[in-house]
Structure 1
């Protein structure tokens, strides 16, 4: 009985001294951190707007006699192209009246110059000494000045009449796309009538709405040098991979969406792809809502990661040299929906855990899955 009791006591002592079972290491995927220089790319969306827009109005009134060839909505007209012609008959008559008035004024001036010559000879024969004011009256200076002024006024009236006649032919003031035409032959128009809506075709704008916090990554021309290059795409309309190039023009200076989004204007040259440089590129459409990728400033010494590798409180899971999990806070310099750029808290070559852990605890053992040649934490 004693031997059995002693044996039982000894057995209990052996059990108490037994080492606890080892914790099994979790298999995780890791990528090494590679700090390098990255160009911050800001994604934004915005509407296509005309940089130059005009409601075309006549300088004179009258009836529309004829429309120019191609003066239709959707057509592009060159600067100086005749768009329409008003009835010129009234303005031709006005021009003839102005010419006649100038002829009369010149004749009256000639007659007055003759009268002045006679008055001067008569005054010299008298040889009288008079005041300067009286001398001017005797020599008919006021009458001569009146006649000269009448000639000047008649010449101006003639110039006005010529201009009015020229203005009955209305031309495109610049290379333009006709958005709307509001008149037809027979329409009576005045100086307040809108004939057409034109927009310039040299440059259009895309007004992007950009998070205010992302403005510091965008280069603006007023800072010296060119603005940030922009790549535009029209999802669902243009073929996949088809883009147009633009460049940041300026910051509008006001905010949209209750003060959270800034308005940035992007200039796109030759938006209708009429020139050789844009040959084969798609045309922009006014009012289209486009996606833009703004190539911003460079960020040196940053580790780029996928957003899901960043956890609560801007922390990253690191597998240290002992094969244990570290939950490490990091400094995030930039983030968007596709990547996060980290500039502090991670050293070159440290292993970033990319697998999702259900209950991560600092110090838990890990083992790295064999590398399969996948992406590195570098930023692309």
Structure 2
């Protein structure tokens, strides 16, 4: 009787264990997947940059004097040649008048010397005067003419100096804040800065790229891994400091052929049209430089990627039909897809749905493949595995 009871208890225990194992057997999670394949993708280089005006002019004092008046409104557009400041001209006007009087006196002296030569010419032919006296008259006339030329040059210089008392804009553009006020002494030897004018209807954005990266790009172009556009123009897109995309495309217009010894970088520059003047000189931006295309690139849809501090992760299906985490390095996002720089190979099967339910090691069932390959393990196989 006791033996029968023990046998019955053992049977019930085995049945309970089997039911418990069947109850905890993981269920396959239905998922959709994509098979990784190579394709042509943009080669995107992301760099920080700084906005610079296309042209900038420093307006400096060209004469020494006292500022009388500011003739423009700060922060407004000015045209080339427009008066900006007036410097007290009285001292320079007096100097100009003095030089002009000296020129008049020198011209009178030269005219008298020429008249003497004209009177001496027939006399020397008649031997009424000596040749020495005639030669002296000619020399005096030439000296007087040279004196006239010298004073005329001085008068021209004085006229220029007088003209510089009206400080004019050297280029068209937006004039900045005045650096001097009325009553300030400005100096020609020191070249006192009075204001700045910037042209920002178009702007430059300057970047610095590591020399090693430039060398790698050149190697990739030479090997055929990287193909440039037919027009060889490199498109650039900007993200401004507030995170907004700048709507106008730019193009690289300058690439330095020397490496900065201190930073080990190569300077690049792009030009952007700035009709609305959204971009301001001195502003820091982030640029995406589209330097050709990579022939054997890999992309993955945004929904399949979980972002991390080091890049991102995706779930792939391993040989056992289970979900496995795969870390990847991400590049730029193009048309809603991440460019994958490393971590995935052609033929990898990446899960793109039900990611919130998946954990590493969980069996999955692919629902979007017609052949139903990579089916989840059968319940019997799972039970047998759990009973070992």
TM-score (norm 2): 0.65
Q: Secondary structure of 1:340's match?
A: strand
Assess, with a 3 A threshold, how the Cα gap between structure 1 residues 203 and 124 changes in structure 2: closer, same or farther.
Answer: same
Q: Secondary structure of 1:370's match?
A: coil
Give the superposition deviation at 1:140.
2.8
Q: Secondary structure of 1:150's match?
A: helix
2: CA distance, partners of 1:225 / 1:135: 79
Where does residue 228 of structure 1 map in the other structure?
234
1:176 to 173, 177, 180: 173
Assess, with a 3 A threshold, how the Cα gap between structure 1 residues 226 and 293 changes in structure 2: closer, same or farther.
Answer: same
2: CA distance, partners of 1:32 / 1:94: 87
Residue pairs, 1:24-173, within 5 angstroms: 29-70=32-73, 72=74, 74-126=75-127, 138=135, 140-173=137-170
2: CA distance, partners of 1:35 / 1:167: 67
Does the 8 Å CA contact 1:109/1:151 hold for their aligned counterparts? yes
Assess, with a 3 A threshold, how the Cα gap between structure 1 residues 154 and 306 changes in structure 2: closer, same or farther.
Answer: same
Provide structure 1 residue ranges, at least 5 long, that are not aligned to the other structure.
1-22, 271-277, 372-380
Where does residue 346 of structure 2 map in the other structure?
346
2: CA distance, partners of 1:69 / 1:236: 32
Q: Secondary structure of 2:122's match?
A: helix
Give the superposition deviation at 1:124.
0.7
Assess, with a 3 A threshold, how the Cα gap between structure 1 residues 38 and 288 changes in structure 2: closer, same or farther.
Answer: same
Q: Secondary structure of 1:339's match?
A: strand
Where does residue 358 of structure 1 map in the other structure?
360
Assess, with a 3 A threshold, how the Cα gap between structure 1 residues 154 and 288 changes in structure 2: closer, same or farther.
Answer: same
Count of residues in Structure 1 that have an aligned counterpart in Structure 2: 319
Where does residue 269 of structure 1 map in the other structure?
273
RMSD over equivalenced CA pairs, Å = 4.6
Provide structure 2 residue ranges, at least 5 long, that are not aligned to the other structure.
1-25, 222-228, 370-388
Q: Secondary structure of 1:140's match?
A: helix
2:247 to 243, 249, 257: 243
Where does residue 196 of structure 1 map in the other structure?
195
Assess, with a 3 A threshold, how the Cα gap between structure 1 residues 212 and 118 changes in structure 2: closer, same or farther.
Answer: closer
Assess, with a 3 A threshold, how the Cα gap between structure 1 residues 186 and 300 changes in structure 2: closer, same or farther.
Answer: same
Q: Secondary structure of 1:284's match?
A: coil
1: CA distance, partners of 2:250 / 2:32: 40
2: CA distance, partners of 1:255 / 1:366: 54
Does the 8 Å CA contact 1:64/1:84 hold for their aligned counterparts? yes
1:302 equivalent in alignment to 2:308: no
2: CA distance, partners of 1:235 / 1:57: 33
Q: Secondary structure of 1:69's match?
A: coil
Q: Secondary structure of 2:61's match?
A: coil
2: CA distance, partners of 1:226 / 1:51: 22
Does the 8 Å CA contact 1:123/1:138 hold for their aligned counterparts? no
Assess, with a 3 A threshold, how the Cα gap between structure 1 residues 147 and 140 changes in structure 2: closer, same or farther.
Answer: same
2: CA distance, partners of 1:34 / 1:194: 61
TM-score (norm 1): 0.67
1: CA distance, partners of 2:350 / 2:255: 38
Q: Secondary structure of 1:201's match?
A: strand
Give the superposition deviation at 1:202.
4.4
1:370 equivalent in alignment to 2:371: no
Does the 8 Å CA contact 2:237/2:246 hold for their aligned counterparts? no
Assess, with a 3 A threshold, how the Cα gap between structure 1 residues 125 and 242 changes in structure 2: closer, same or farther.
Answer: closer
Which structure: greater helix fraction? 2
Give the superposition deviation at 1:172.
0.8
Does the 8 Å CA contact 1:244/1:282 hold for their aligned counterparts? no
2: CA distance, partners of 1:96 / 1:122: 40
2: CA distance, partners of 1:146 / 1:32: 97
Give the superposition deviation at 1:367.
4.3
1: CA distance, partners of 2:154 / 2:340: 72
Does the 8 Å CA contact 2:176/2:196 hold for their aligned counterparts? yes
2: CA distance, partners of 1:230 / 1:291: 10
CA-to-partner distance for each residue in 1:202-229, whole Å, 9 max, x for gaps? 443222344556546599xxx9956412
